Structure 1
Amino acid sequence: ASSEPARCAHCAGPLEAVETGESAAAGDGLRCGWCARTAPDWHCAECGGVRLRGQVFGARRTAEELGRAFPAVPVRTSGRDHILDTVPDRPALVVSTPGAEPVPEGPGYAAALLLDGWALLGRPDLRAGEEALRRWLSAALPRPRA
């Protein structure tokens, strides 16, 4: 499965699988998310492959992988299924989806990492760039140095 983004040959918009599931063959119904044209003959320009795989893993899977990488650090998740309003002022990894970011109870986050920045910029919204910049600037305000 190719990890390169699938793009429409007509408008360069993102191709989406019409069927649900983790992967789909190119002939199974790829459609452009912008112009709605189908792309039955799509293949990856990098590897020639005709299978897709998801580009985004989601907050839950990201939290699971971080938990395995840092087993001694608590991992808190805030997203569609459960939104945290606040997080305690104790060391922890906080993984959240856009719009579900919890407010730290203390002076702020010590560091911030925004994943999938391309997804924020690629949203089908006229103000996608402005919204992405707002989120990035908000995340750039971690806790003041002590």
Structure 2
Amino acid sequence: MVSEMPKYYWEDFKVGDTLEFGTKHVTREEILEFASEFDPQPFHLDEEAAKKSILGGLCASGWHTSAMLKRMICDAFVLESASVGIPSIEEIRWKKPVYVDDVLSVKRTCIERRTSKRQPGMGLTRFAYEVFNQKREVVMTMVGWVKYGRRHADEAVEA
């Protein structure tokens, strides 16, 4: 549910701050459903074909992993924030397959922030995300910018 009064604004994200969150159990049904609609490759749809592939078993599409990350991000803080969107994703890397019954979690690190030159009521924050499986292996990384409303748009900002 989206918060009426945001809890988090641009000012709340400081360079170097980290947050760990999320617990997403990946099911066979979800993998098949997502792949059927968006990425119908055999190793995402057919268990026998997946076993014979380089992946060694049925696994989620990288785009499905990205979608699960986005959901965990929303649940952890975005839905309670003054976020106005993502102007860019600079990098996504799928490091390891995500298999049936994996349990995913996330580490977010704030790596850069600045105010918007064109919109003084807004600030931009650059985050690095690491997605882990239950063995604490990194399965995906993502780096990108998020635009947030500023709590005090008229105040000077320290870098």
TM-score norm. by structure 2 comes to 0.27
Structure with a larger share of its residues in strand? 2
Structure with a larger share of its residues in helix? 2
TM-score norm. by structure 1 comes to 0.28
